[in-house]
Chains A and B, each alone.
Chain A
């Protein structure tokens, strides 16, 4: 079995200023590993969208990134309200963000669609009232 690298991050719940710290750190780590800019860009955008979602909707959570020789896996876990209708949430433009969130430039309803767009696979496990776990993979080959 090949070696894998694991990075763990706590995502602060109500802090838009620090949102993106985990994805920025992952970007740095992946750069040090010598991965291509295109792969790094896909991983960091997908992860940033997930981070922002956790800040907007779920009062934070955790992010784990696993780097293997074959893929990069990002697992985002939160104990937020869950997603009532995943199909609806996956539609571009659908958003439940408030006006104050929108005034920051977020809430365009592009978060989940972007996460799907920039990864090779995405799985959403969500239970209303309990939380959401999103697992994304970007293949390296």
Chain B
């Protein structure tokens, strides 16, 4: 499944620079170092953190996209940084658990 494909399932594009990227698995977490230690390359990463460091972590850990759950807003300066670093960020109004469950169903 590609990042773009999520848009047809209620996920919102907050910053989409490489929508053709494949999603391989999902990781959920808000502690950035924990995520860097555990998330796999090409995972979709679900979090409620929306500061600029999330962009750095997503870029370095090479996740396919960040999904901001719980309707968390993306600050404009963070969106600009994500755009510059080619980091996909989507939004979900659902709580984290429901977002993960939905994603799991789509990926299986």
Contact = CB atoms under 8 A, between A and B. Distances in A.
A114 interface: yes
A108 interface: yes
Contacts of B49: 105
Contact of A41 (B37, B54, B56, B61): B61
Interface string B20-34: 000000000011111
Contact of A117 (B37, B53, B61, B85): B37
B74 interface: no
B60 A23 contact: yes
Interface string A33-65: 000011011001100110010000000000000
Q: Is the interface of B mostly helix, strand, loop or mixed?
A: helix
How many of chain A's residues touch chain B, expressed as a range?
20 to 34
Given A27-B59, A41-B61, A20 B37 contact: no
Interface in B54-105: 54, 56-57, 59-62, 85
Interface in A11-32: 16-17, 19-20, 23-24, 27
Interface in A80-130: 104-106, 108-111, 113-114, 117
Contacts of B37: 110, 113-114, 117
A38 B40 CA distance: 10
B78 to A, nearest CB: 10
A45 B53 contact: no
Given A20-B53, A37-B41, A110 B60 contact: no
B60 A105 contact: no
Nearest to B31: A108
Given A45-B61, A106-B53, 17 more contacts: A17-B52, A20-B60, A23-B56, A24-B56, A27-B60, A40-B62, A41-B41, A41-B60, A49-B33, A49-B36, A52-B33, A104-B53, A105-B30, A105-B32, A105-B51, A106-B31, A113-B37
Task: Give 9 closest A-B pairs by Cβ, nearest first.
Answer: A20-B56, A110-B33, A108-B31, A105-B32, A44-B60, A114-B37, A108-B33, A105-B49, A108-B34
Interface of B: 30-34, 36-37, 41, 49, 51-54, 56-57, 59-62, 85
10 contacts: A16-B53, A23-B60, A24-B60, A37-B62, A45-B36, A48-B56, A52-B33, A105-B49, A108-B33, A110-B33
